[in-house]
Amino acid sequence: MTENFTWNIQRAGYEFDQYDFKGETDYLNFLNEFEKFPWMNELKKANQNPEKVSPTLSVEDEKEKKTFWVSISGDENQHGYIIGYIYPKMKKSFFGLGKEKEIRWLEMFQTQNIELIKKCYHFQFNREYDKLYIELNQLEKFGEMEAKI
C-alpha cells in the first residue's frame, strides 16, 4: 500500500472511462494545476458534447482509498461545480439482511464557491477527512450512490 496522492484529468468530450493519469502530487503542485486548468474553455467543449463527460479533476488518496473530484457544469454566464467524494463504506448485502461488505460510496455536492473547493482539497491532502466531510455536508447535495469503479 502506498501513502501517496495521485491525480488525473477527464477533459470535456472524453468517454466516461477515459482520463489522463498525471501521477503523484502534493497539495501545492495540485493547487497550481487546478488554478491553471482552462475550466471555461473545457466547459464550452462539454456543452458541444453533452453525451460525453464534463471536465473533471480528481485526486486519489491511495492510502485511505478516498477520491475527491470536481467537475464544472452550466454555461459561460452561469456555471457551478459538482464535487464528488468517493470513500469506502460498509453495506449489508441482500436487502440489508446479509453480511456486510465494503463498497466504494459516492456522494456528490454542488457549489459555486471555488475557494471552498480549494479548502476541501487542502483537507484531503492533510487527511483531515472529518473536516472535509463537515464542509461538504454544508453544501447542497447533488446525489449519492455506490461508485461503480
DSSP 76: S
Task: Pick the closest to residue 110 from 64, 67, 65, 144 (CA basis).
Answer: 144
pLDDT in tens, 46-75: 999 989 999 999 999 999 999 999 999 998
Residue 1 is placed in which grid cell? 500500500
pLDDT in tens, 99-114: 888 889 999 999 999 9
| Gyration radius of the chain over CA positions | 16
Give 56's contacts (C-beta < 8 A, 6+ positions apart). Answer: 9, 10, 19, 69, 70, 71
pLDDT in tens, 122-133: 999 999 999 999
Count of the separate structural domains present in the chain: 1
- The residue range of the domain holding 26 is 5-146
pLDDT in tens, 83-98: 999 999 888 776 667 7
